[in-house]
Every structure is written in C-alpha cells, then in structure tokens.
Structure 1
Amino acid sequence: MRLTHNKFRLVADLSAQNVKPHDILSTLKEKNLKNVFPLQTIYNAKMKIQKNGHESMTQMQGVLLSLKKGGYIYYYHTNNLTNELEDLFFIHPTSLEMWKAFPQVMLMDATYKMNKYKIPILEVVGVTSTRLTFFIAFIFMYEEKEFNYTWEFNCLKSTMGGSLCPPVIDGF
C-alpha cells in the first residue's frame, strides 16, 4: 500500500500544519472511499518526510535543530579530546513557566540503559500545589559522575537565572 505522489504531498502538507495522523487518514479516505490505507502508512510517510528533512545532518545535528525549532532551552557538553557530545540538557519554555510557578519541590530520577545508546536519562520533575507532577527537564548523561551532576545543576541554575533553590530536592 503505497501513497501516490499527490497523496504523499497531502500527508506532508497536513503534517506541516500539525494535523494528527488519524485525521490525515480520515482526509485521505474522504477524498477516495476506496482507500484502505492503515494508519501505519501515515506514520511511515511522516517518518520519511522527517528523514528527508534531515538527510544531510547527523542524528545529533537533527536533534539540536529540532530543539532549536521547538523553542527549547538547551545546553550540551562535549568531550574536549573527541568533540563528541556527552551530556545534553533541555527544557521546554512551558515547563520553565510551570517550574517558576511551583519551585518548591524538585524530583529527579535516572532511567538506565533504556535507549539505543545505553546511557542514563535523568528526568527532573516538579510538583504543583495540587500534587500533580510536571516535567521540568531531561538530561542525557554520558556518565553518572560528580562532574555530570554538577554540570546538570549548573544548567538548572542558569535556566532559572541562578535564583532557584528549592527547599526539597529528592531522587526517586
């Protein structure tokens, strides 16, 4: 089940307008009732569109471009000898606003070897006054050493302008 060129362009245009894949499929079926494309066809087309947009970039360049386009605040640390990225910190502006509104509690949890690079992901979450949690930041860490955690805390401090010192910081 392949999309014709025109249908592929329609998927690309609708995706650029942030239309959900299910709604894209509905639009295709409205245009031609004989379409029997599964939803996976739309997901595959979206992946192909995204891949073509980042063809000349490395994966990390694509990630950094996506963070920049998405308005994220991000910092990264590279190895001085190899120039390879070792740590990546990012926070969405909406998360930052939530954090400014509810800075009292900050929780951190590291997830180990759950990605294809087998490196820890440190998640930082906050708690609202109604005890709901929200994500503050994500940090990909090359190693769990004192330097990495110090770097991560410095990123958090600089994101808040150095004015943050929550009374409660806890690790899960």
Structure 2
Amino acid sequence: MQCERSGRYKPPKTRKKPNLEGISSRKCNCPFRLKSFFDKNTNDWWLAMICGMHNHDLDEKLSGHLIAEEKKKVIDMTKSLTVPRNILTNLKQNNKENVTTIKQVYNVRTRWRKGERGNMTELQYLISKLVEHKYVYYTSCNSEETTLEDIFFAHPESIKLLNTFSTVLVMDSTYKTNNYQMLLFEIVGCSSTKMTYSIGLTFLHFELEDNFTLALTMVKGLLSSKDNMPKVIVTKRDGTFDECRWHIFP
C-alpha cells in the first residue's frame, strides 16, 4: 500500500510532445509504503512499514477523496450506465457529510475503464467487444493503413429487424460525440407498429460522399434479398425532414 500522491505525473501518449508547463498534479513521488503479509497458520494479516514518512503536508479535509466503498458504488453505477452527475447526487444523498466532487467521479470511471481494457487501446477493446457479442462490423483505413478512418457495426438483432422492416430508413449525423472528433452517422428503421429501431452506427473521419456511400453499402450488404431494398430514405436537413429515393442503389 502506498500514498495516493506517490509516483510522478505521466502525460497522455500523443503524437506531439506534450507541453507540461502550467500543468499541476497531485503526484509528488511520496515515499510512504506499507507491505502486508498473510499468515496461513493463524489466518492473520501483518503490516510491515517500509517507509512511514510523507514528503508533503496531509490534507485537513477529505474533499476530493473517495473511500473504497464509494469507489465501488461509482463503478457499479457506471456499469448500469448512470451518468456522473446522478452518481454524485446519489453519493451525497446517502451521506450528508460527503464532500466528493464531480471530478473525482470522472477520475474513478476513467481508471476503471483503463483497467478493463488492460494493455489494449480503445479501438482494440471496441473491436474485441464487437467480436464477443457477434456484431457485424467493417473498418477502413487510410491509404497508408496507419490510421482508422471509418468503422461500421450492427447488432445481429438489428439485422433481423432490417430484413423484416426495411421500407423506410431514417439517417442523421451528430458531431462532437467523442475525443477523436469523428462524425457519428446513425441509421434507424421503422417497424410496422411505428416504433424505431437502430440498424447500425458508423464513425466517419470525413463528411464526404464516399464515406456515406461506404456506410450505405454496408447496410445494403446486410439485406438478404433485393426485394427488401428500402423504397424511401428520410434525411434530416436544416431541422426539417426531406424524403429522397435510395438513388445510389440499383
């Protein structure tokens, strides 16, 4: 066991050399260490002090610190897709003296997700989950095959719904949804009961005709028969819905 301020700050890995000027960190290479031992004969734990000195002043308040029980609760609520502000509200409702900040909630979520990925990058972890849950997916890289530009994925149940209800499709794009500033292009279908269902999601690096054509070609490949070809596509433009034919497909 060690002090939470042990070690030194490690900047995120980027292509550009990070500018560390003006960056503050809690890490100050604190030497405080404890080592635990388990005695199998008595089933007791023993603590040995390796270094009992801190090289910084101890905090008088617990503001910005989460105890182990609260960290577990943050992780459990994150698994349930609870948003950070609701997690913080729940912590404060259960403990009136809680002084946790929203930043600490975000930090716990980030560390947990990094621990789940292990040595894999975010993209490798995403693809491993797509394979695990049997998604249909497709990726495309640039000409040098060094950078991912587009990725399309669809759930098996969505493919079944597409082949059952494929008369009308609705498409729309959203921006600034991720750290990579990639365009999120979503394709939605409409069932006979006027309920919508998600067909597939595509992250696009460029908003060009070739990128959208690639995404729609992947949707076409999910259809089991040409008889299921959509008759109308609804696209959102300037806050209104315009109908257009599926002109890129025969």
TM-score normalised by structure 1 residue count: 0.71
CA deviation after TM superposition for structure 1 residue 83, in Å: 2.0
Partner of 2:231: 167
Please report how far the alpha carbon of residue 114 of structure 1 lies from its aligned counterpart in structure 2 after TM superposition.
2.7
> Which of 208, 218, 232 is the equivalent residue of 1:155?
218
1:118 matches 2:177: no
User: Does 2:142 correspond to 1:79?
Assistant: yes
What secondary structure sits across from 2:202 in the alignment?
strand
Q: Relative to 1, partners in 2 of residues 1:68 and 1:3: Cα closer, same or farther, differing over 3 Å? A: farther
In structure 2, the residue corresponding to 1:124 is in which secondary structure?
strand
Q: How many residues align?
A: 170
Corresponding residue SS for 1:136: strand
Q: Which has the higher helix share?
A: 1
1:160 to 1:57, Cα distance in 2 relative to 1, 3 A: same
What is the CA deviation profile of residues 90-135 of structure 1, one whole-angstrom value per residue up to 9, with x for unaligned ones? 1111111111221111110011223222121111000111111111
Which aligned pairs between 1:68-147 and structure 2 lie closer than 5 A? 68-147=131-210
**SS in structure 2 at match of 1:131:** coil
CA distance in 1, matches of 2:225, 2:146: 28
Structure 2, gaps ≥5 residues long: 1-64, 83-103, 237-250
Alignment partners' CA distance in 2, 1:63 and 1:70: 11
Q: Look up the SS of the partner of 1:109 in the other structure.
A: strand
CA RMSD of aligned residues (A): 3.6
Whose Rg is larger?
2
Q: Which residue of 1 aligns with 2:27?
A: none
State the TM-score, normalizing by the size of structure 2.
Answer: 0.52
Q: Any idea what the Cα deviations from partners look like across 1:26-72, whole Å, max 9, x if unmatched?
A: xxxxxxxxxxxxxxx99987765543232211111111111111221
The one-letter code sitting in structure 1 at the alignment partner of 2:187 is V
Q: What is the CA–CA distance in structure 2 between the aligned matches of 1:92 and 1:147, rounded to whole Å?
A: 24
Q: Greater RCO between the two (CA within 8 Å, min separation 6)?
A: 1
